[in-house]
């Protein structure tokens, strides 16, 4: 019920306020014993001011402008017409609205109009033209003006906080999506290696127990590393910034470890670094590692008996990554999982390019370019 009243007040509050002040002015004007034309002119002015009051939030300078324009009319009408209390309410509302709903040059214009209304009220009553009148009317005009500026500042501050909150929530959603991709990469790679080693170990269980033991060692090592990485990623979801795990994230500096694990899983891999290594933004560094990991995992799954080559090239403010194999499989990781789709998403974040497809001389290749010069 409270929310309903708040919505009704927000939508119709200014209309009711303008209509109420206009009605009060017309009732008081009707009680005066003056010519009919004076009453009609004053009542019409009150109606116009009421409409302007209803539109004060959208057109905050309109009511102030009408009051300034009505100053000459106040000289022509009987003096006690200008003493109607509702006119004073219009003045206070106009000054407050001009201060609360304007900024920059429009606020300067509102201040000039407020000064004009105040001086007009003082000059319009020559009998009261003294220092006390200046002080009194300055306070009458200054109070609403200060209140309006305070309300405006608070409103802008609240709006800024809302924007910052929305940006923070969007960043959280984006970060959780990134962590989900990270978790997929870890699990997909680890399970791929474990499945392949388990199949190979089962075939060699009776004939070559040493090979079987190596396969089991690889499974143990891969599973332990995957569990460690999963704990780190899940910790990012659970813990606050002060409680994040201190384990270093995967980077190109740890690419040798990944290559060793893949070799141990049965895929010979050759790693080449070309160009002068540069300091990479963390996002680019991590994404490049994950691209290599995903591509090698696909080679393990789909290439069959094959070998792979990984080339990392630093050139022209960009990082080129190429992973190719000479296998006979045609899988590209673009099935129901993330696979190539995840690689494309990572590259798109940094405005890069990615190519993936069969090689002319057999096998499969993934090429990605990650610009990093503009990411710092």
Model confidence band, residue 245 (pLDDT cutoffs 50, 70, 90): very low
Task: Give the residue with greater pLDDT, 310 vs 182.
Answer: 310
Write out the residue range of the structural domain in which residue 78 sits. 2-129
Q: Using the 3D structure, point to which of 109, 129, 149 is the last residue of a domain.
A: 129
Residue 165 located in a structural domain? no
The DSSP string of 236-291 is HHHS-GGG---SPPP-GGGHHHHHHHHHHTT--EEEEEES---PPPHHHHHHHHHH
Alpha carbons 237 and 222: distance in angstroms, whole number = 23
d(CA 364, CA 238): 38
| Closest to 264 measured CA to CA, from 192, 316, 369, 317 | 192
- Tell me which of 129, 148, 165 is where a domain ends: 129
Whole-angstrom distance, CA of residue 186 vs CA of residue 290:
9
Residue 37 domain-assigned (yes or no): yes
Tell me, yes or no, whether 53 lies in a domain.
yes
- For 340-354, b/e burial (b = at least 16 CB within 10 A) is bebbbebbeebebeb
* Percent of the chain with pLDDT strictly greater than 70: 70
Report CA dihedral (308, 313, 318, 321) to the nearest 10 degrees: 0
Which CATH number goes with the domain that contains 299? 3.30.565.10
Note the pLDDT tens digit of each residue in 27-76: 887 777 777 777 788 788 889 988 998 998 889 999 889 888 887 766 66
The verdict on residue 186 lying in a domain is: no
Q: How far apart are the first and last CA of the chain?
A: 51
Chain Cα centroid distance, residue 253: 32
Q: How many domains does the chain have?
A: 2
Q: Is residue 335 helix, strand or coil?
A: coil
Structural domain contains residue 357: yes
Tell me the per-residue pLDDT of 19-33, one tens digit each, with 9 for 90 and over: 988 898 888 877 777
Q: Which residue has the tokens 């009998």?
A: 127
- Tell me how far apart the alpha carbons of residues 176 and 319 are, in angstroms, rounded to a whole number: 25
33: left (phi over 0), alpha (psi -120 to 50) or beta: beta
Distance from C-alpha of 223 to C-alpha of 121, rounded to nearest angstrom? 85
How many other β-carbons are positioned within 10 Å of the β-carbon of residue 171? 10
Least confident of 123-127, 191-195, 294-298, 348-352: 123-127
Mean of the per-residue pLDDT values of the chain: 78
| 9 domain residue, yes or no | yes
Quick: pLDDT tens for 219-239: 767 666 666 666 655 655 554
| CA distances (Å), origin 5, targets 55, 58, 122, 183, 218 | 20, 21, 40, 47, 67
In a domain, 299, yes or no: yes
- 238 located within any domain: no
Asked which of 129, 161, 190 is the last residue of a domain, the reply is: 129
């Amino acid at each position: 019920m409270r929310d309903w009243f708040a919505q009704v007040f927000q939508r119709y509050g200014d209309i009711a306020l303008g209509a109420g002040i206009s009605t009060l002015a017309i009732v008081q004007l009707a009680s005066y014993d003056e010519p009919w034309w004076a009453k009609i002119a004053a009542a019409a002015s009150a109606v116009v001011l009421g409409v302007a009051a209803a539109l004060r939030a959208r057109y905050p300078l309109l009511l102030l402008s009408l009051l300034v324009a009505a100053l000459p009319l106040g000289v022509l009408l009987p003096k006690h017409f200008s003493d109607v209390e509702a006119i004073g309410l219009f003045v206070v509302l106009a000054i407050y609205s001009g201060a609360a709903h304007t900024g920059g040059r429009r606020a300067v214009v509102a201040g000039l109009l407020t000064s004009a209304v105040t001086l007009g009220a003082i000059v319009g009553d020559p009998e009261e033209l003294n220092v006390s009148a200046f002080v009194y009317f300055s306070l009458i005009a200054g109070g609403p003006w200060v209140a309006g500026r305070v309300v405006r500042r608070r409103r802008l501050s609240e709006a800024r906080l809302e924007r910052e909150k929305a940006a923070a929530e969007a960043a959280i959603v984006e970060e959780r999506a990134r962590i989900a991709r990270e978790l997929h990469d870890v699990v997909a790679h680890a399970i791929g290696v474990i499945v392949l080693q388990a199949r190979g170990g089962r075939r060699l269980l009776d004939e070559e127990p040493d090979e079987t033991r190596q396969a089991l060692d690889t499974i143990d090592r891969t599973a332990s590393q995957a569990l460690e990485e999963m704990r780190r990623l899940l910790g990012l979801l659970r813990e606050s910034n002060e409680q994040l795990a201190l384990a270093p994230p995967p980077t190109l500096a740890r690419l040798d470890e990944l290559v060793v694990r893949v070799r141990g899983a049965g895929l010979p891999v050759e790693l080449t670094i070309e160009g002068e290594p540069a300091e990479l933004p963390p996002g680019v560094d991590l994404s490049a590692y994950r691209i290599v990991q995903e591509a090698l995992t696909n080679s393990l799954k789909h290439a069959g008996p094959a070998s792979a080559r990984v080339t990392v090239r630093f050139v022209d403010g960009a990082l080129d990554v190429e992973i190719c194999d000479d296998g006979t499989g045609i899988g590209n990781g673009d099935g129901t999982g993330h696979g190539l789709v995840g690689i494309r998403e990572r590259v798109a974040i940094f405005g890069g390019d990615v190519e993936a497809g069969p090689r002319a001389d057999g096998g499969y290749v993934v090429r990605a370019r990650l610009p990093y010069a503009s990411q710092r």
